[in-house]
Structure 1
């Protein structure tokens, strides 16, 4: 019995060691080695944006030491193009590294793709197990590679500013302008646009202008039914190319499109097409004028049609010529004139104005003016109907003028104590501006000045003579030295220093007259056109005096040439201005008063 048990035990051991005659699963597994994993595991580089010349290294890890021969590779899709990451290193190791070097033409902004099958490319990947060479698996599981971005486009121009429409309420037909400023000039193709949210609707401000410059303008015209009481907004913070392009002029690099860093609230850009009122017409006749300060310009403009609703204020913007950013004047003026201070002498500025009656009207045409110091041209008298008091409380329509203050600082005010001989201040006489009305007044306003040079005079006057009233005197100036020949005036329609030849000066509208007086001869211009040159002064009268002098407006010393009409502005300079300085003063007067 004992021997039988020993025999049976020996048979069991024998069968277990030899595997017997049974198939796998008959119990021999107890003595076999464990099965290895013949699988590569993908190891991706850190997700980032790769540019031209940068390397993308992709690793495959295996449980066994891999022998590499030939040039196996990984297949990549970059954009829509097939590329290959070639074998780099890893022979006789458990990690195989493949490398792709980004090329200048590569572009894939949503992440590269990796094929899950190794391309042996005529090579091999093997490992040895229990003395036998085994082929490594060529497949592997993928991982998310969308973070591996390829962008080889050259850095394009960056946005430096985004300017929203002016705060206000806009009606049907009004234009909303958006300005995107770049650090460099850009070329525009197609129709880029900005997506807007107006009320609950999405609409688009389309490209309007700016090709070849650093400032790109987008425009949207308010349509019937558009309403947004809490302010419009951008539906997207990026410019939509819409099949077009915005690229640097210098190298065609794609420009930045994201405006979010410069976006301000547009809660005050209101759209109301159902208010029942109509926005004012476009402001016209915007003009500029120097002041007694060389850092301040005066602005004035015609009052536009309010279309049935009273204009409450005006929006005024200005900028240096060549600049792309508008500055808003604050507070908004309520009348059709204002001044802009803090400017730089010798700098040319641009200005524009829009009227507001609860709805903002269209912007005026841009007016350009250079800041210059009029005092440096040595005026000896300067009167303007837009500044009767030179900083005080201005008169109102119909007021009598007892004193008209000098702006030059070199003359006294022109005064008249007798109310019966005082001229009348009238508003909105010409170009929306006031003027002083004279009606046959005897030696009305008179002032004094002092001459330090007798090297000629330059005289400017903006005025209007009543029609069919020849040989009347707008002004006369004279010496206080007692010499009866040291005087001369401006007679209508004869001219400066002329009293016997009718030159038929215009009496149909306001005009700008300029005169050069050498002391014995005179040149005269009407609205920049020559009337006469080197004309001898009447009866040898001379203006070549120095010292104390005086002037009278609306008459002469004889009290026999009383004027009927308006005087708007009057300047005398104690020298013959250069052509450029004369034209500069003429330009400012023409722009201000809207003379022909």
Structure 2
């Protein structure tokens, strides 16, 4: 009889252990990661999984999760795999209860054909190298210390996560509208702080800081969520002067102003401004003839148009019309600021040329000549009366303004309102020296 081999020993399980993981970070598994478990048999086994696959039940926290046979046919080591699901959590590490291996209608046998029927094995305690955290973490706080920013302001930005994060870099992960955010730092990788500085010469009521998702993770590798701050407003554009114009008057006649009349000048700003004149009033210097005259702020607070007024004085004269030299607006120790609090420091403006609608004449007209062509009048005589003023006059009426004893003066007329003539006719039957 030739030699032969006898094998009547059924394969049994020598050990079960968690042996590997894909995607694990810092000993923590998250959703989508794979954990591998190896069941080692007493001898090489063959797996007939034509009907179904063997399984091993894992204890993930308080939940049972099924690892399914993946490889190892015709070897002593059968490998099972479980993919971590969202919501799985095990802070102590995955464990395996005793006797959790199940052939699950498959057949596991040795090379001699002996079918394994005893799958008992020892328990595997919590393995801290395979903790599980597949719970989405949150942004608990994303705030700015100031949301109304003007020239010279900045804001402390605070970003608080529900847990420690890794791979977070504010330079890459946060976009800042109309400004810059310094690199944020943290002592615990949970609470991060930085400083936001608004852009210069910017004016925008709608801005946010935006944290991008998929750009950072927690220590388990869970992807971080997106978040934005509340809206913040930026006004770092100081008010400037758009124009200066002579815009009004009180008392003017025929485009002439005289003593006691008021002339108004309007300085228009590019935005509404507030005037703090508790110390003094802003002024604008007018050129009245060859003299400088000061127009003082009177109204326009909290608007774009500030109105200044000057009262014409006796002796003022300007035959061409009042003008304004460039850059004569002076805050005069007052404060002009926009509603955000930005102070107007540049109050330059263009010149205003002579405005012929605002001439100035405060000198009263005089009579240069008032004569009669005949001063010894007899029966049948009359005399030409000539009246010459120093300048043209209006509202003159010889009938109302001249009395003529012992005679009658015809209505005087003029071609230039300066030289007036009429005829004096003596009264009959009169004798008067």
TM-score w.r.t. length of structure 2: 0.40
User: Which structure shows the bigger proportion of residues in strand conformation?
Assistant: 2
TM-score with structure 1 length normalisation?
Answer: 0.31
Greater gyration radius: 2
